[in-house]
Amino acid sequence: MLSDWQPSCHIDALRLRAEVLHKIRGFFLARGVLEVETPLLGHSCGTDPHLGLFTTTYGYGAQADTLFLQTSPEFAMKRLLCAGSGSIYQICKAFRNGESGRFHNPEFTLLEWYRVGYNLGDLMTEVADLLEYLCASFLSLKTTKRLSYQDVFFSTTGLDPLTFSYEQYYAFALKQHQPEALSLCGDEHGLWLDFIFSHYVQPTLGQSEFYLVYGYPAIQSSLARINQDNPETVDRVEVFFRGVELGNGYYELQDAQEQSQRFDAEIQTRAVTGRQLVVKDDRLVSALEHGLPECAGIAIGLDRLLMILSHHTKIEDVLSFSIDRA
Amino acid sequence: MAIYSTNEFKSGLKVMLDNDPCAIIENEFVKPGKGQAFNRVKIRNLKTGRVIERTFKSGDSLESADVVDVEMQYLYNDGEYRHFMTPESFEQYQCDAKAVGDASKWLKDQDMCTVTLWNDAPLAVTPNNFVELTIVETDPGVRGDTSGGGGKPATLDTGAVVRVPLFVQQGEMIKVDTRTGEYISRVKE
């Protein structure tokens, strides 16, 4: 008899999950945001240069087709927005190959929502409302704090994230006894930011309150809009609590042509770095051509939020069956 | 030689790093929201025993190290080398003082221990967690004397010195935890 037939988590964690799901649905119902479902399986996928994908085969023999398991419901939800759905939210599974660790399971649960007519500031207010509402009975939180990426980066490292100075970045890594940073990051500004932020900045964020970090460097734009006042930054926000990243949101890019170019650039990067081939979502590009309403949206990792609420330190403590038992 | 990618790194895995055999202690997956994922790995260099932290890009890989732990019997010390034998195949290995290290003070002839082999050459010797050794020298304890923290030093037949309770006498056999060097109990023969 196998000993790992049992759940990874305690039954109490399942009850907490059910309670939190119920509260989230109540929160959005009261605000008139529509719950939707979109496919987990699709013909195209995200092009993020750093994401590993799961693929599967649809059909048999010569007619067989490759389908992707979604890395996030973003594209399908944006197509709904373009089709006139109004504000929507979804609670669903997302899949990222190779991501496994204390805070990662390759299959995980996302809460993703889009607010028509919101900008990044409006969205941050709603994120704070939701988090404070969900945490009220579990944690004694002061408030939610908003900080710019440039400010938190500078205050913890003394470095300017918007201006790449190879000498200064390398000197910082040496001071932290990480000489291998040189071979890891080379002369790529984006890699250096990923390395320094994830190793030295992120662990310090949000010790007693949620941090909303906004104004990401433009080279980490993803699907966000360029900021109107400071074109070196984009209107992107990330949520942190006790050093853990909980969510990522944007004031959404509407420009179909720019989106298409970003996809192509990312596909190019994936080819250069030897990543799995991806299929560009031309339907999303067409939807954007039709027109995406002014909106802001964010995805929150629900499993991590549950970890925080229940003071667990490993993601498997809040999952019925983590990947090793699935 | 096998190649391990960062997502296969787990505690106990033996890999080559900077031309030295190493054992992975801890592997933490670190990923910024969007962007390059890293693995922060704690590694013990099996030659020096030193523990270091190293960051890899997720997906990077290391060569496996041909390192195995083998149960062996300690035979004798010829002055320069200590000799060990595998009980099944009677194959013998000689270890220099560097490989034996601190284990030397717990090794008694005929005792079993673990010898770590790298490319079939001894790299380290680990005694069993508990060994039974005889006290060859200790002061006769004065009954009722609880000064000195309630113990006294005792020299064992392997040369190790451990603190024992006052009632334990010269010539007695005792059980010792080799990880802490602490006295556990007397052994009734």
User: Which residues face B83 on adjacent strands?
Assistant: B76, B94
Asked if residue B115 has pLDDT above 70, the reply is yes
Q: Do A104 and B29 touch (CB under 8 A)?
A: yes
**In the block, residue with structure tokens 């693995």:** B39
For A36, the 3-state DSSP assignment is coil
Please check whether residue A46 is in contact with residue A278, taking contact to mean a CB–CB distance below 8 angstroms: yes
Please name the member of B7, B31, B57 whose beta carbon is closest to the beta carbon of A184: B57
Q: Could you give the residue ranges of the DSSP H alpha helices within chain B?
A: 97-100
Please check whether residue A132 is in contact with residue A143, taking contact to mean a CB–CB distance below 8 angstroms: yes
pLDDT bin (cut points 50, 70, 90) of residue B125 is: very high
Which chain A residues are Cβ-neighbours of B36 within 8 angstroms?
50, 190-191, 194-195
- pLDDT value of residue B1: 72
Least confident stretch, A199-213, A237-251, B23-37, B84-98:
B23-37
Domains of chain A: 3-143+209-318 (3.30.930.10)
Q: Provide the shortest C-alpha distance from residue B101 to chain A (in Å).
A: 29
Q: Do A178 and B55 touch (CB under 8 A)?
A: yes
- pLDDT value of residue A73: 97
CB atoms closer than 10 angstroms to residue A110: 20
- pLDDT value of residue A142: 66
Q: Provide the shortest C-alpha distance from residue A178 to chain B (in Å).
A: 7
Which chain A residues are Cβ-neighbours of B29 within 8 angstroms?
99-104
B32 touches chain A (CB under 8 A): yes
Please check whether residue B36 is in contact with residue A195, taking contact to mean a CB–CB distance below 8 angstroms: yes
Q: Tell me the mean pLDDT in the region B28-41.
A: 88
Q: State the Cα–Cα distance between residues A274 and A269, nearest whole angstrom.
A: 8
Q: Provide the shortest C-alpha distance from residue A198 to chain B (in Å).
A: 5
Global pTM value: 0.81
- pLDDT value of residue A117: 97
10-residue averages of pLDDT along chain A (326 residues): 90 97 98 98 93 94 92 97 98 94 95 97 96 86 88 96 94 92 91 94 91 93 88 95 94 94 92 90 96 97 96 96 94
Q: State the Cα–Cα distance between residues A181 and A172, nearest whole angstrom.
A: 10
Which chain B residues are Cβ-neighbours of A198 within 8 angstroms?
30-32, 35, 38
User: Which residues face A112 on adjacent strands?
Assistant: A90, A299
Distances in Å between the Cα of A232 and the Cα atoms of A6, A215, A221, A227 are 50, 9, 10, 8
Domains of chain B: 3-63 (2.30.30.30), 67-127 (2.40.50.140), 130-186 (2.40.50.140)
Return the exposure string of A116-133: e unless at least 16 CB atoms fall within 10 Å of the residue's CB, then b.
Answer: bebebeebbebbbebbbe
B59 touches chain A (CB under 8 A): yes
pLDDT tens-digit readout, B130-184: 999 999 999 886 665 555 567 889 999 999 999 999 888 899 999 999 999 999 9
Please check whether residue A10 is in contact with residue A317, taking contact to mean a CB–CB distance below 8 angstroms: yes
Whole-angstrom distance between the N-terminal and C-terminal Cα of chain B? 49
**Tokens found for residue B26:** 């801890």
**In the block, residue with structure tokens 């059980």:** B175
Q: Do B35 and A104 touch (CB under 8 A)?
A: no
Q: Do A184 and B56 touch (CB under 8 A)?
A: yes
pLDDT bin (cut points 50, 70, 90) of residue B35 is: confident
B55 touches chain A (CB under 8 A): yes
Q: Which residues of A touch B (CB under 8 A)?
A: 48, 50, 98-104, 177-178, 180-181, 184, 190-191, 193-195, 197-199, 202, 220, 222, 238, 245, 247-248
* Residue among B177, B92, B102 nearest B132 (CA): B177
